[in-house]
Each structure stands twice: as C-alpha cells, then as structure tokens.
Amino acid sequence: MSLVSLNEGEKVYIIHGVEENFRCDGRSRQDYRPLELEMDIVSNANGSARLRLANSDILVCVKVEIDTPLPETPNDGKIEYFVDCSANATPTFEGRGGEQLAAELSRFLSLAHCPVFNLSKLCIVSGQSCWKLFVDVLILECGGNLFDAVSLAAKAALCNTSLPNIVGTYEDGKNIDLQISDDPFDTKPLDARDLPVLVSLCKIGNNYVADPTIEEEICGAGCIVISVTPKGKVSAVLKKGAGSFMPDTLNEIIMSGSQIGVLLNKALEETITKDMSSNVCKQRFGFLK
C-alpha cells in the first residue's frame, strides 16, 4: 500500500518491542496515538469533520438530498459511503492505485453502520420521499491505521450533520412537493451517537497491537478490524492481510477489541460534546494550524 519498506533488523526490533509491550514510539500495545478532531469545517456541507491521527489526515463531509425510498423499504432513508484516496497521501494512490483500498473502506463502513443506523429516521413521507445521506471521505495523508481514523471521522461528521426542517408540503395529484425552510440554521440534528467505530488490531508475533503505524502494519501477519458500538456490541469484523488466526486468538482479539472500542467511543463522545458546548463564535482552523 505504501512505499515504506523495512530491513530485517528494523522488523526484528519492532517485533521484540511488541513482545516487551514497549513499542517504537513508547506506547504500550493498547495505546492510541493522540488524535485531533475538528468539526464543521466545510461550510457548504450539512456536516463535516476533520480527524488527524499522527500522520493520517481524514476529511469527511456529509451532504443530504431528497430522494424516493426503495419500494421494498418505503419507510427507510438511504445512506451512501464514498471514499477517495487522494494521491497527496502516497504516490501509490495515483491514478487507480487507491481504488481497491477505497472500495474496501467504503464497503466495510456501510457494513458496520448498517445494522446500527436507524434509517427510518430519514423518512419524510412514507413511500414517497426520504433523505439520502452522502458520506464522502477524503484521505489526505496516510500514516497507518486508516480504518480507525476513517470511522472516527465519519462518526463525528454524522454527529455533526443536521437535516433541514420541512415547513410545508403541497400535494399535487400523486406528487408531493416539499418546501424546505429558507433559513440555513432552521435544522434538526441527526442523532448518530450510537454508531460504531472501527478498531484495528494488528497481530505481531504472538501479540496484537491497537493503532498500528505503517511500519507495524508491515511487520504484522494480519490485521482484524472490529466495529464496536458505544455499548460494546460488535457489529462487523474484517480480516486484512494474508495471516491466519486460531479460533482462540480470534475470540481474544475480538473481546479486547470491543473493550478498546467502548473507550474509543467514549473519548469521541466526550470530544463531540465539548465541541458542541463551545459552539459560540467558533473559529475554523482547518489545515493551517
């Protein structure tokens, strides 16, 4: 995926470090690198967030549109995920290079969110019209552990999303015309607090580490990505890489992943609450800081 390559000595050093529970940057096996979050940074989107995890930089933007629901689910809205790997992140993303990773990310994100996200909240008129959410993820820099970073940013952006209020409907025969409030601040927030986040655990030697760096991802035999809701429920699991896992190890990894996920959700929740409470005269920083 990236241009990083390691020689045997560096690999041995990393593997021994994981065994000793002391990684190259001083973290223990379960620690995350410091994360930085900024919400509501794209002014013409309905919700947006930027997340920085060490060198990984993710920008997520949510747009809403009015659409007709599918005939089989007349009371449900729609949600669509799209991931774009910018060639700024690594030169390997140039051209169609990032497409496979992008497809994997967007597919797994929708798989993880789908059992938890209540789409009936997006219904406007049953069988006639509903909201459709477009979640666009842009990967601007790649410093390892993309799955966790993308899911955290996507959840933050969805929590930041608000749907415009509908002030009136006009029936015109079979068609229904919706009138949306002119005031851009006349909105109601979308409740996305119970969405899951993804936790990647990379198996290195006989141990597994949370929040792997690119170097650690190269050393690892395989990586398990677990999607965990704030209550600790596991909604999806994915294995990356060529390595294999024993059933016992897999169970152990999923258990410990769900514990980490609860804490990760809690940390995100607290940050989002803090952001909401300091909403008055907020300054946007973006990428300049």
Partner 1 sequence: MNISISLASKKTRHGILKPTSNPPVIFTPGEKIRDEAGFMRGHGTYVSAGSLKATVAGVEQNINRLVTVSPLRCRYNGEIGDVVIGRITELVHKRWKVDLNARLDAVLLLTSIQLPGGELRRRGMEDEQSMRNYLSEGDLISAEVHSIFADGSLSLHMRSLKYGKLGQGVLIKVQSSLIKRSKNHFHNLTVGISIILGNNGYIWIEPTSNDNKDLVGLEDEFEQVVDIGDRQTISRVRNVILALSYYKMLIYDTSIQFALEESKKYTVSDLLTAEACYDIANLTRHRLQIMDE
Answer yes or no whether residue 71 interacts with partner 1 by CB under 8 A.
no
Give the pair of three-digit tokens for residue 134: 């477009």
Answer yes or no whether residue 277 interacts with partner 1 by CB under 8 A.
no
Q: How many residues bind partner 1 (CB under 8 A)?
A: 47
Using the Cα atoms of residue 231, residue 232, residue 237 and residue 242 in order, give the sign of their dihedral.
positive
Answer yes or no whether residue 17 interacts with partner 1 by CB under 8 A.
yes
Half-sphere exposure of 212 (CA within 13 A, CB side): 27
The only residue of 43, 44, 206, 283 in contact with partner 1, by rule CB under 8 A: 283
Residues 6+ apart with CB under 8 A from 49: 37, 38, 39, 40, 41, 59, 60, 153, 154, 156, 157, 160
Answer yes or no whether residue 121 interacts with partner 1 by CB under 8 A.
no
Between helices 247-277 and 146-160, what is the axis angle to 10°? 40
Cβ-based nearer residue to partner 1, 124 or 234: 234
| Residues 143-162 within binding reach of partner 1 (CB under 8 A) | 152
The only residue of 20, 65, 171, 191 in contact with partner 1, by rule CB under 8 A: 20
Per the listing, tokens 């006989």 go with 206
| Residues 232-271 within binding reach of partner 1 (CB under 8 A) | 259-260, 263-264, 267-268, 270-271
Answer yes or no whether residue 30 interacts with partner 1 by CB under 8 A.
yes
SS (H, E, C) 201-212: EEEECCEEEECC
Answer yes or no whether residue 38 interacts with partner 1 by CB under 8 A.
yes
Answer yes or no whether residue 188 interacts with partner 1 by CB under 8 A.
no
Cβ-based nearer residue to partner 1, 31 or 104: 31
Cβ-based nearer residue to partner 1, 73 or 256: 256
| Residues 192-211 within binding reach of partner 1 (CB under 8 A) | 210
From residue 80, alpha-carbon distances to 97, 121, 122 in Å are: 22, 15, 13
Distance (Å, whole) CA 157 – CA 137: 10
Check if the beta carbon of residue 81 is closer than 8 Å to that of residue 109. yes
C-alpha 192: how far from its chain's center? 12
User: Minimum Å distance from CB 278 to partner 1?
Assistant: 7
Residues forming the site for partner 1 (CB under 8 A): 5-10, 12-13, 16-17, 20, 22-28, 30-38, 50, 52, 54, 152, 210, 259-260, 263-264, 267-268, 270-271, 274-275, 278, 282-283, 285, 289
